[in-house]
Amino acid sequence: MIRTLLMLTFWAIALPFVFLFCFPWTLLTGSADFMYRVFMWGTSRGVRLAGVRASTVGLERLDPARSYIFMSNHVSNIDPPLMIPLIPRRTSILIKQELFKIPLLGRAMRAGAMVPVDRANRDAGIAAVRAACQVVRQGLNMTIYVEGHRSRDGKLMAFKKGPFYLAMECKIPVVPVTISGTHEVMPKGRFAIKPGKVEVIFHDPIEPQDFGSRDNLMEKVRRAIDSGLPPELQENPQQTTLAQPPRMTGHPEQSEASMHSFREAREENTP
């Protein structure tokens, strides 16, 4: 509880500073880049004060010069402040509109091109997707928690369709992201943060030409995110085990036989 209060106190002190010094600079220059960098610095420092340490996998797969749509699972309130500072370059986020009502924070998020979403209103959700598409076309990344809500048990819930409409419309690469460990650090329904280690996995980008249909893209993203979860939380642990081919070692005939067996097993486990 003490670490949680330390994090919140640090953010409460830092937010007025961001608003008083960085927000006027944003208005003066017309760019939110400086405010974003300061905001991300404060966000990551707050998480570290809470005793949460993150290790990353797969950042080398990303091209810092390109824009991506990052689609992640969501199990904890600590997910966004933990994950967002790790993303190369500036990213916008689809955020529930209630957070925009918080004084100072709401104005800072609007200045940073964050996109509010009314999860109870379908028409507002469509408008949010259109607004997000405009933001992406300006060259920003977009980060979306595709389940729409936090999972209570750490397992994947049903995905919202809006993010996949966005990807099909914008035609930029999609990066599935698995956050593993925040369910133990700060599960849904608990205020206090338990110090611990978290792993954030950035999977291979899915290029627009490989999307297929919207449902196909949704399935590809789901499989990728699920593959990074602990085995006890995965939907298809056997299928994940078969995802990688065997190493080509030993006699050539033996290696070829192993590859043949791998292909047959993968076909049997492909829906």
Residue 95, pLDDT score: 78
User: What per-residue confidence (pLDDT) applies to 120?
Assistant: 66
| Residue 173, pLDDT above cutoff 70 | yes
The string of pLDDT tens digits covering residues 179-219 is 999 999 998 888 889 999 999 999 999 999 999 999 999 99
The 3-state secondary structure of the chain reads: CHHHHHHHHHHHHHHHHHHHHHHHHHHHHCCCHHHHHHHHHHHHHHHHHCCEEEEEECHHHCCCCCCCEEEECCCCCCHHHHHHHHCCCCEEEEEEHHHHHCCCHHHHHHHCCCEEECCCCHHHHHHHHHHHHHHHHCCCEEEEECCCCCCCCCCCCCCCCHHHHHHHHHCCCEEEEEEECHHHHCCCCCCCCCCEEEEEEECCCECHHHCCCHHHHHHHHHHHHHHCCCHHHCCCHHHHHCCCCCCCCCCHHHHHHHHHHHHHHHHHCCC
Which whole number is the average pLDDT over 142-170?
Answer: 91
Lowest mean pLDDT among 100-114, 150-164, 201-215, 230-244: 230-244
Q: What percent of the chain has pLDDT over 70?
A: 84
The predicted model scores a pTM of: 0.79
Q: What is the pLDDT of residues 90-131, one digit of tens each?
A: 998 887 777 777 776 777 777 777 887 776 666 666 778 888
Residue 164's pLDDT is 93
pLDDT above 70: residue 44: yes
Which pLDDT band, with edges at 50, 70 and 90, does 252 fall under? very low
Check pLDDT > 50 for residue 3: yes
Rounded mean pLDDT, 259-263: 44
Six token digits for residue 77: 């309130």
Helices (H), 22-161: 23-29, 33-49, 79-83, 105-111, 122-137
pLDDT confidence tier of residue 260, bands split at 50, 70 and 90? very low
Q: What is the pLDDT of residue 181?
A: 93
- What per-residue confidence (pLDDT) applies to 259? 43
Class of domain 54-246: alpha beta
Domain ranges for the chain: 54-246
pLDDT score for 175: 98
